Every structure is written in structure tokens, then in C-alpha cells.
Amino acid sequence: MKYVFLFSLVFCITKGYAGTTNHLNKGREECGKTLSIKNVRMVARVTGDSLPGEKLYLPNRTGVDFDVYGTDLGLMWQIEGRRIGLFFGDTSGKGFIIYKNGGNGENWRSNVLAFSTDTNLDDGLKIDSMSSDSEGKAREVCAGGKANPEIYQTSIPTSAIHAGKLDCVHYMNIYDWGAPHGRWLTNFSSIYTSADGGHTWISRKEVTFSSESHFSQIAYAKRDGWVYMIGTQAGRGDAAYLARFRESDLLNMQAYEYWNGKKGKWVRGNEIAATPILRGPVGEASLIWHKRFKRWILTYNYDPRYDKAPLIKTYGILYCDTENITQWGTPKVLATGDNYPGLYGAYIHPLKDQDDKLWFLMSMWGPYNVFLMSADIIDVLK
């Protein structure tokens, strides 16, 4: 989707930023330049088995090797060095059947975790190992629906980060997927942490967000000693909100700071002070500070059914970019369901922040598996 400069300027002022005149002037400056992400292509399959006639690279056999035949998401973070972790969502084992309403089959797990050191992605993303049980099958990390089926359905990872000496995964504890207005209902959202590179994990309830929190579902990213969180309520109907904390304050929610656009400042320890930074609907976001282009890039799911003034007619994945994380420009189209039916979850590869390509993992509902995608990044002036 393309917009002329004047429309972009009006959109940013009227839709994106509430606050002082100075705040709006910064918004005008931000809208004058942007990145263009084009030529999206599917590079390889990451999970599951090839479909009949499929010609994608298949570097992994997650079914045979780890009993991961059907799964989704694949959110990534840098653990240490050139090693990344990948959290997947609801996962199905042997007996999984494609195009049968998502997950099915045996050995259901609410989430599983993989590790990779592969950074040469032209022929796919190779999984080195997965966190596994005594039988070698990928194990559940965040306690899922089997732990207490009368109270909740599943526990879904939303983002992960390495902060200080800990690896951390944020997850939402879902009890109803079918709520109205694009919502998924949660009991709470919280985190698990690992102090040994992702091998063992501990539930950390000292960081807990309520069922109505705008940080029920988040995207983490780091810059200059800060961990930033772009959050929404669980689902795909909320606007986006912003918070941050020092890496050393991961477990201290009183030290979290929330961006208030009306006041133009960060507010410490008061989540309700947060104001929207991006109009909804925003779902399942992913965030990176791109070192080569010196800009933040945000990708997210977009469902026009929950937008009073739809940007596009069909379901898709949008992206924004900015130099200032508190002020975002016009959303643009990354991919739509017209080309990739049932697409969702564009999770950006954290080690590809020096490339002229955007590398990300995308799920598709029918095959209920995860695919490696790439797109060209072009620095442009509107």
C-alpha cells in the first residue's frame, strides 16, 4: 500500500499522536522518511513435513526428530553469541493432519523451544536442538493447558529477550480464544526465566500482568541498556502501548516505565499511565532496532474487521519503522492473506540487524507450521 506524503502527514498527526505541539512537530519530521520493505518471498519450511509438490528448502525434520509435526509462531531472541532461541506455540505430535483446524494429533504441548546457530539463511534456518524430554521429544516449557484444564486452555509465548544474566520469555495464560472484538481472554500474563542459556526455566510470578493489561501480549527489543516492550491486550483488536526497563530491572515491575504521549514523558511504576503509540488493531507484534538502517522496525498482524477505518480490505501483516520508538509513521503492508492464506506472526530474526533484508518467521493456519521469509529493505525519502 502506498501513500503520498501529504496523506502520511495527516495520518500521523490525526491518528497516531496525541499531545503537545512539539510532539506533533516531531511526528511530522518522522513521517518525512521511512523504510520500504518489498519483494517478500517464502524461503524455506522451518517445521513440519513438506507438502506434496512443495519445493521449499527443508533443513529440519522436526516431526521425526522432536515429535513436532504441527506448530506455529517461532518467536526468536539472541541468547548468547550467535545463538538464538525459538519459542513455538501450541504443538502437535505424531498423528497431526494438515488443514484440520490448526493443532491436532498426539502429544499436545502448549509451547516448545528450539535452538539455532544458523545465520546463513539462504537455504533455510537449521535447528540445532530442542529442549526435550527423556524420549527426545520437544518438551513444554511454560506450564500449559494440561496442568489445569478446568482453569485455562494453554500458555502461549509472546516474546523473549536476554536481559542482564537471564533469558526471559513472556507468555499469556489463555482461558478463552473466542471472546468478541478481537480479544483472547487471559487469566494473566507472566514470564519464565533461565539462568543457564535456556536449558532450565523458572516461573517468575513477580512479573505478572492482569487479564485487562495492555501488556498481556508484547514484543521485546533492546537498545542502549534498555529493554523496550510494545504491548497490547491479548488478541488482535487493541492499540499498541509502550514500556521500558533497564536490563537489571527485569524482575522489578516498580522500575518499569510507561510512555505517556499526552504528557510526552515516561511514567515509572504506573502501567495505567501508558497511552497508545499506534492505532489498532495490532496483534502479535515483533520489534527490532535495525543497526544498519538505524531505525526501529515493527511488524504485526492486522485484522480489518476490528478497524473502523480499515487500512486494507483483507487480513495481513503490516509494518512500521521509526527513529524514535515513541512516535510511529504510517503502517504499510508486508504480506496479505491473498498471497499467503491464513498467514500470521511475522517474527523478526534478531541477528539479521545488519542486512539489507528483513528475515522473519511466519505461520500459516492451514498447514499449521512455520516458514522462513525474507524481504528487501530499501531506505527511502518520501
Q: What is the phi/psi pair of residue 248, to 5°?
A: -70, -15
List C-alpha distances in Å: 252 to 116, 159, 207, 230, 237: 30, 18, 7, 18, 29
Q: What is the pLDDT of residue 32?
A: 56
Q: Classify domain 5-381 at the CATH superfamily level.
A: Glycosyl hydrolase domain; family 43 (2.115.10.20)
Q: Which candidate, 332, 345, 156, 164, places its Cα nearest to that of 234?
A: 156
* Contact (Cβ atoms closer than 8 angstroms) between residue 360 and residue 286: yes
Q: Which residues are 44's β-sheet partners?
A: 57, 372
Taking the chain, what is the end-to-end CA distance rounded to the nearest angstrom?
14
* Contact (Cβ atoms closer than 8 angstroms) between residue 152 and residue 173: yes
* Contact (Cβ atoms closer than 8 angstroms) between residue 141 and residue 167: no
pLDDT 10s digits, 165-200: 999 999 999 999 988 999 999 999 999 999 999 999
Q: What is the pLDDT of residue 21?
A: 32
List C-alpha distances in Å: 244 to 161, 236, 252, 255: 13, 22, 12, 9
Q: What is the pLDDT of residue 205?
A: 97
SS3 46: coil
Position 174, amino acid = I
pTM of the prediction?
Answer: 0.90
Spans in the chain with pLDDT lower than 70: 1-32, 381-382
